[in-house]
Structure 1
Amino acid sequence: MKTRLLVASLATATAMTFALPAFAADSAQDFVDKAAVGGMFEVDSSKIAEDKAQDKGVKDFAQKMIDDHGAANAKLETIAGEQKLKLPTELDAKHKTDLDTLQNSKDPVDGSYVQMQRDAHSDAVKLFESYAKDGDNAQLKTFAQETVPTLKMHQEMIEKIATTMGTQPSATSSETPTTTVGDTPDATPPLSGANSFTEDQAKSRIQDAGFSDVSKLAKDDEGIWRGQANKDGKNTSVALDYKGNVVAGTN
């Protein structure tokens, strides 16, 4: 009986020994997938911005992203190879769409690129901080810990650029027309101008501003996406201009 119990215990321990690395590998692989895709997007989008952006500050930021994220991508590739983890070779659908938006835009890409960088660095900081704290792979955890300060520096840089361009953090209202960005709102938002947001991106941006059930989106002759949405249980008209300002209560 004792022998049978010992064998059973050993079998259970063996199963756990093989099960744990599989679980750890899955979690590490998930981090590698997200970090690699984010890093590729940073470099690829920044190469486009460096070529097509008009603002010198935006161009300089794009070059720094190419340098810093290029180095981080190479380091991640090395670690992934050592840990026998697969590195994604292409972007996911969302990032491909954003890249196409920049690449195919006939208008200045400064505003779109800056907003994409704000979103990307917000996601990256959360991802790397989380893995730096609770990661299950020692080498990747150290990589995340060492990379977080650089990501936060980038985040501060892009927020300063956004402030200069008048695209500060959102604070929308559903009662009266107000821009969601900036302590000092743009004059009479929404602003007319060439709008490079796709319909899907416009819908996502409006939802990120706290609206739901976004519908009937159409871009008017002034380059402004207009539609209907719900906010705090109320239906309201909503608009998105080329700078990413979300305005409620418009006609």
Structure 2
Amino acid sequence: MKTRHLLASLAVASTVLAMPAFAADSAQDFVDKAAVGGKFEVDSSQIALGKAQDQRIKDFAQMMIRDHGAANTKLQAVAGEQKLKVPSALDAQHQGDLDKLKNAQGPIDPAYVDAQRKAHDEAVKLFEDYASGGDNAALKTFAQQTVGTLKMHQQAIEKIAAGQDSVTGATTPAVKTDNTPNAAALVPGANSFTEAQAKSRIENAGYSNVSKLTKDDQGIWRGQAAKGGENLNVGVDYQGNVVAASK
């Protein structure tokens, strides 16, 4: 009997000790990720305001600075009330992405758009998950109140990314002459796209079966793709322009 009571007492004690630690860890993890993500949104958007060329991207960046700045301030207040620490610096991954934008040569429009797509995919999932199953009531309410704005941002950046004309003017000529008023040409320049990003650009422009992508000495990704039942040679320049020609 004494043994049974002792085991029961230990079980209760372990539960009392473990539950607050679990709750604090989970809440702190949300604060860490939300704070770092929010800071990256603001910092990267400040860079975009100075270096992006497309006015729609600059307008989006301004919205990020306003909305995420407000959300960051709110998170700081809520976390402080819950005795949780808010990180003041970016983690290594986000700092690396930020440095790439800072040091990029030429327009950063495509790189910024890709960074925002990734960041908002991560943010929406983080906030949705915590809004539905968070272990801290105040932070859960914050997540519920914020996720709608994040989804609006996500839709806006996806619309920019999907419409090549919105981001890079790809539906208008990259190079225009009197003899070829509707011609399009790829523009040489330092290209920050990875192979996967170049493939994504081509697919977003309506092509399929993208293959054999290589970057030439002009900074242009070139490969093969299909569209309208035709196999084509296709390329992507540093601005994100997608141009194809019959093989």
Instruction: Tell me the TM-score normalized by structure 2.
Output: 0.73
The equivalent position to 1:242 in structure 2, one of 215, 238, 241, is 238
Q: Answer with 60-69 or 25-34: which moved more.
A: 25-34
Of the two, which has the highest radius of gyration? Answer: 2
1:16 Cα offset (Å): 0.5
Which digits, 9 at most, give the CA deviation of each residue in 1:129-179, with x for residues without a partner?
1111111111111111111100011111112222333589xxxxxxxxxxx
Q: Does residue 43 of the first structure (1) align with residue 42 of the second (2)?
A: yes
Conserved? CA contact 1:190–1:240, under 8 Å? no
Change (3 A) 1:191 1:83: farther
The AA in structure 1 aligned to 2:67 is: D
The CA distance in 1 between the partners of 2:185 and 2:154, in whole Å, is: 26
The equivalent position to 2:189 in structure 1, one of 177, 187, 194, is 194
- Partner of residue 100, structure 1: 99
The AA in structure 2 aligned to 1:20 is: M
- Partner of residue 58, structure 1: 57
1:10 Cα offset (Å): 2.3
The CA distance in 1 between the partners of 2:93 and 2:219, in whole Å, is: 22
The CA distance in 1 between the partners of 2:89 and 2:199, in whole Å, is: 27
Conserved? CA contact 2:28–2:85, under 8 Å? yes
Conserved? CA contact 1:193–1:242, under 8 Å? yes
The AA in structure 1 aligned to 2:58 is: K
Aligned-partner SS, 1:91: coil
Q: Does residue 20 of the first structure (1) align with residue 19 of the second (2)?
A: yes
The CA distance in 2 between the partners of 1:220 and 1:93, in whole Å, is: 30
The equivalent position to 1:224 in structure 2, one of 220, 223, 227, is 220
- Partner of residue 212, structure 1: none
Conserved? CA contact 2:131–2:143, under 8 Å? yes
1:14 Cα offset (Å): 1.6
Conserved? CA contact 2:220–2:236, under 8 Å? yes
The AA in structure 1 aligned to 2:30 is: F
Conserved? CA contact 2:164–2:241, under 8 Å? no
For the aligned residue pairs, the C-alpha RMSD in angstroms reads 3.6
The CA distance in 1 between the partners of 2:130 and 2:89, in whole Å, is: 22
Q: Does residue 123 of the first structure (1) align with residue 119 of the second (2)?
A: no
The CA distance in 2 between the partners of 1:160 and 1:107, in whole Å, is: 23
The AA in structure 2 aligned to 1:139 is: A
* Pairing 1:79-98 to 2, within 5 Å after superposition: 79-98=78-97
Change (3 A) 1:88 1:150: same
Instruction: Tell me the TM-score normalized by structure 1.
Output: 0.72
